[in-house]
Amino acid sequence: MTGTLILGIETSCDETAASIVGREASGAPAILSNVVLSQVEEHAAFGGVVPEIAARAHVEALDGIVRAAMADAGVDFGDLSAVAATAGPGLVGGLIVGAMTGKAIAAARSLPFIAVNHLEGHALTPRLTDRLAYPYLLLLVSGGHSQILLVRALGDYERWGTTIDDALGEAFDKTAKLLRLPHPGGPNVERAAAGGDPKRFALPRPLKGEARLDFSFSGLKTAVRLAAEAASPLSNQDIADLCASFQAAAADSLGDRIGRALTRFRESFPGLADPVLAVAGGVAANRTIRAALEAETAKAGVRLIAPPPALCTDNAAMIAYAGLERFEAGFLDGLDAPVRSRWPL
């Protein structure tokens, strides 16, 4: 493919990833390669991501991952238009590895460098997968973030809600840990919940009914801990019931917040022909959460878009694509662009 070609690099958490994304003559974006190496096994024994281990694993893997992304796409460094790397938010050791690698390639090949905000990568993914037009509403629910964002235009985001304590994925992971289910917890909680009774334990619905659009999940996790202690020793059925009750409470709380956000979205853009809520982040894979979102969007007359799981969870195609939009808009960064562990959109 000729035209614009961007190399994207992602190393903000526990995935080492590289991707080539281009723009076809028709205007359609194309993913030419998307290579993701998960470090899940390196961290499993610790029940969570260990920053020092993550940074070292990125150093070891990244060169090979970049080479694999170039080879899969059939492109050479000389074909690239620019290099984009995640510069935050995330674990600073990993961010340094990815950004320095991106800058080194850019310097060696005299290419522009683009420092991408990881959250912008998630926010723009539905434009890569579904060519969605601005504006739209985005729900990001991952291990590190729970946010409702209004995506107005490239670089123009309005945060309508965020978590005041834990992210939703974090609440799933902590619930799994306290019930001694393996890491990463989300999929294991969902699996256990399938055989459980969601009504057995009466758990709180944090912030339900409140006008603000924020989330809170740490009280819910604490309620699970107290219920688990009261029911101890736990049988497999107890664990299944706790997982099902937690999942139902989380979906109910999330659904309430999203329902309010959708009402505000409809009121803010009454003439919008195709109002859309897009979801991103690993928790979007959860079927109970998905069902709550489907119910709320149907009620509000809003279309729900969920990109394929491989593009909902952390990957470099979303970073390359954000880099592509930034490159086309002339938003370039210098080789002195900093990495930032905290970087709100």
Question: Known binder of ligand: residue 195?
Answer: no
d(CA 326, CA 225): 45
Q: Is 161 in the site for ligand KG4 (CB under 6 A)?
A: no
Q: Read off the tokens for 62.
A: 């990244």
Question: Known binder of ligand: residue 118?
Answer: yes
Q: List helix spans (H) across 110-235.
A: 118-130, 168-178, 185-193, 218-231
Question: Known binder of ligand: residue 304?
Answer: no
Q: Is 169 in the site for ligand KG4 (CB under 6 A)?
A: yes
In the complex, least distance from residue 155 CB atom to ligand KG4, rounded to whole angstroms: 21
| Stretch binding Zn ion (CB under 5 A), from 66-74, 98-106, 135-143, 179-187 | 135-143
Binding-site member from 34, 117, 142, 245 for ligand KG4 (CB under 6 A) = 142
In the complex, least distance from residue 115 CB atom to ligand KG4, rounded to whole angstroms: 18
208 phi, psi to nearest 5 deg: -60, 130
Q: Is 256 in the site for Zn ion (CB under 5 A)?
A: no
d(CA 121, CA 138): 12
Q: Is 120 in the site for Zn ion (CB under 5 A)?
A: no
Question: Known binder of ligand: residue 232?
Answer: no
Burial bucket for residue 109 (CB in 10 Å: 0-12, 13-18, 19+): middle
Q: Is 172 in the site for ligand KG4 (CB under 6 A)?
A: yes
Contacts with ligand KG4 in 272-301 (CB under 6 A)?
A: 281-283, 285-286
307 phi, psi to nearest 5 deg: -60, 160
Could you tell me which residues come within 8 angstroms of residue 251 by beta carbon, excluding any fewer than 6 positions away?
286, 288, 289, 291, 292
143 makes contact, choosing from ligand KG4, Zn ion, none, with CB < 5 to 8 Å by partner type, with ligand KG4
Q: Is 143 in the site for ligand KG4 (CB under 6 A)?
A: yes
Q: Is 214 in the site for Zn ion (CB under 5 A)?
A: no
Q: Of 299, 345, 292, whose CA–CA distance to 322 is shortest?
A: 345
In the complex, least distance from residue 229 CB atom to Zn ion, rounded to whole angstroms: 32
Query: Is 238 or 314 the residue whose CB approaches Zn ion more closely?
Result: 314
Q: Is 30 in the site for ligand KG4 (CB under 6 A)?
A: no
Contact yes or no for 135/265 (Cβ under 8 A): no
Measured between its terminal Cα atoms, the distance across the chain in Å is: 32
Q: Is 142 in the site for Zn ion (CB under 5 A)?
A: yes
Q: List helix spans (H) across 269-334.
A: 287-300, 309-312, 317-329
184 makes contact, choosing from Zn ion, ligand KG4, none, with CB < 5 to 8 Å by partner type, with ligand KG4
Question: Known binder of ligand: residue 58?
Answer: no
Q: Read off the tokens for 100.
A: 């320095």
- The residue ranges that bind ligand KG4 (CB under 6 A) are 13, 142-144, 169, 172-173, 184-187, 190, 281-283, 285-286, 313-314
Which residues are known binding-site members? Answer: 118, 122, 140-144, 173, 186, 190, 286, 314
